[in-house]
Structure 1
């Protein structure tokens, strides 16, 4: 409790000042210097995009706006009997990626391994032998069989120890084993890079949402955050999924800061927002320039029990529903059945359909631009999104997300 009070006091001091929205350094001053990894002196900003491989027929690789991003994360490779495996259509996608890279040599492409619902990580990371088998299978597949398609590996283990899908095996020792697995990837991919005369990258997508399958969730209990920061090239910080079906009330998917009306109990309320999540990772030894801020191009929906005093916000609900990306949300703004509202603390909009009692949390180019400016002004390495096909045809969300990190 004393540790939480100290950490919360640091964050609240940040939130009380203008510095919180222009830089998180106020809240992280107490982080021990020895915990901070040394990053390269010159880093190219990251403008990252996750690409859903299962959607490649509707959104083929050829449509990827490769001149507007630095990194593309192909989702997903999964795990079968302790080895990497791929989707049936992935081989053609990988060939198309290789062609895209030839046309846009500045683009870095990474294979993302895991994702929500992917089983097998705990077993694959359990022993030195299982880690070696797993890593070798992944590198053989993506840097030999599909040579030329990828520049690195992105780990998306959701989640070590606890918090992931209840049917997936997890263990207390997962926290340490995740670090050892990342180190195995780092060591072996660096060897491949020396052989190939290239610099391959190892990254990870790490969570921030404080409400998961097992209830209250703390990322530091799943991951050795400071140690991982020294191994990985950077961390894709999933600053979204903070309001899902695990929440007791309808709420925001990715609030910028804590909202006074939010009934979430402490300490989760302090950290379950964009600025709080960044401060938390900083306090656990992750340098700002190893963090890439996540922005959701999709929404979250709740069918609430009643409208309440705030147009469906923070209400008990009877069910949730998936909200497709911005390209599907934008037309609702012209539908008189839906009313748009804005919260200045969350710095996010929401929609409410009173007749159907349907509440939708989402982001738009305005709120995405706020998050991107915060990332830039806070010294973060860049921004990324989930996921590319959720944008509109004009790439309005991507343009807003990338604007502060203009490529040179």
Structure 2
């Protein structure tokens, strides 16, 4: 990044500053634009390995939430080369986003997965909301809690988003990546609003291992309309649902 693109070109790091790097830039951004809100997102496609294990018991849920709040909200960083320390990153983040990919469904390939992940996720979110509110009662702040939600039918079948909603400020729907280069046989839409009955993978193939719903394939439900209606049927409130738009394309060779 060139100096002209910095939040504050005159904001040089001193030798005894307690923060550097991205966290420092985010804090400088908030100083320049006081109304901005920063969220830290935990998990993701390659970092959801231990969610199932960490959410499995009350003690582990409490431990995970306490650790996340201690580091990202209270800003108590480990000391590395003289930087960090208690409160060093305080006020950098205004809330936490959980991106568990996916409860009770294998994602990246090495994740821990359990049949009761869906309910444990609810309990984990309840614990996040409880501890964030307890901290807010002492600081006078409202800390946001959100999730990033995989929109495939196989993922939504394993959870009840309506039961999560009371703990959440909003729900980030991952309404994209419905098709991609992992399918080596055909191209297709990656973020379409509606089912396309003419798509080559719309009908159940009948092949061993394929999941079928009547004559429809699983992937035929990978569209925003079907996924959104499933969320609403689970009792997810429409005013907390945020549509995701991909600012990228997918390619095939």
1:224 aligns with 2:224: no
Return the match for 2:29 from 100, 103, 116.
Answer: 100
Give, in angstroms, the shift of residue 267 of structure 1.
Answer: 5.6
1:135 aligns with 2:103: no
- Whole-Å Cα distance in 2 between the matches of residues 276 and 158 of structure 1? 20
1:278 aligns with 2:223: no
Q: Deviations over 1:15-71 (max 9, x none)?
A: xxxxxxxxxxxxxxxxxxxxxxxxxxxxxxxxxxxxxxxxx899x7739xxxxxxxx
- Whole-Å Cα distance in 1 between the matches of residues 58 and 23 of structure 2? 30
**Corresponding residue number in structure 1 for 2:248:** 298
Matches within 5 A, 1:157-172: 157-172=100-115
Give, in angstroms, the shift of residue 219 of structure 1.
Answer: 1.4
Give, in angstroms, the shift of residue 254 of structure 1.
Answer: 0.3
Q: Deviations over 1:102-136 (max 9, x none)?
A: 21122111110001011111111111111111111
**Corresponding residue number in structure 2 for 1:253:** 190
**Corresponding residue number in structure 2 for 1:240:** 176
Contact 1:111–1:153 (CA<8 Å) still a contact in 2?
yes
Question: Which structure has greater strand proportion?
Answer: 1
Matches within 5 A, 1:6-405: 62=7, 92-118=21-47, 119-144=49-74, 145=76, 146-210=89-153, 217-221=154-158, 223-247=159-183, 249-262=186-199, 263-265=201-203, 266=216, 268=218, 271-303=221-253
Contact 1:190–1:200 (CA<8 Å) still a contact in 2?
yes
- Whole-Å Cα distance in 2 between the matches of residues 286 and 168 of structure 1? 26
**Corresponding residue number in structure 1 for 2:210:** none
1:195 and 1:182, CA in 2 relative to 1: closer, same or farther beyond 3 A?
A: same
- Whole-Å Cα distance in 2 between the matches of residues 160 and 57 of structure 1? 41
- Whole-Å Cα distance in 1 between the matches of residues 33 and 186 of structure 2? 45
Question: Which structure has greater helix proportion?
Answer: 1
Mean CA deviation greater in 124-133 or 259-268: 259-268
Find the residue that maps to 2:24 and give its secondary structure.
helix
- Whole-Å Cα distance in 1 between the matches of residues 67 and 6 of structure 2? 25
Contact 2:196–2:202 (CA<8 Å) still a contact in 1?
no
For structure 2, the 5+ residue unaligned runs are 9-18, 77-88, 204-215
Find the residue that maps to 1:299 and give its secondary structure.
coil
Contact 1:61–1:97 (CA<8 Å) still a contact in 2?
no
- Whole-Å Cα distance in 1 between the matches of residues 151 and 120 of structure 2? 20
Contact 1:239–1:295 (CA<8 Å) still a contact in 2?
yes
- Whole-Å Cα distance in 2 between the matches of residues 175 and 91 of structure 1? 38
1:92 and 1:154, CA in 2 relative to 1: closer, same or farther beyond 3 A?
A: same
Give, in angstroms, the shift of residue 218 of structure 1.
Answer: 3.6
- Whole-Å Cα distance in 1 between the matches of residues 233 and 144 of structure 2? 25
Q: Runs (4+) of structure 1 moved beyond 6 Å?
A: none
The two structures have a TM-score, normalised by structure 2, of 0.78
Give, in angstroms, the shift of residue 296 of structure 1.
Answer: 0.3
Aligned-residue RMSD, C-alpha: 2.2
The two structures have a TM-score, normalised by structure 1, of 0.49
Contact 1:116–1:164 (CA<8 Å) still a contact in 2?
yes
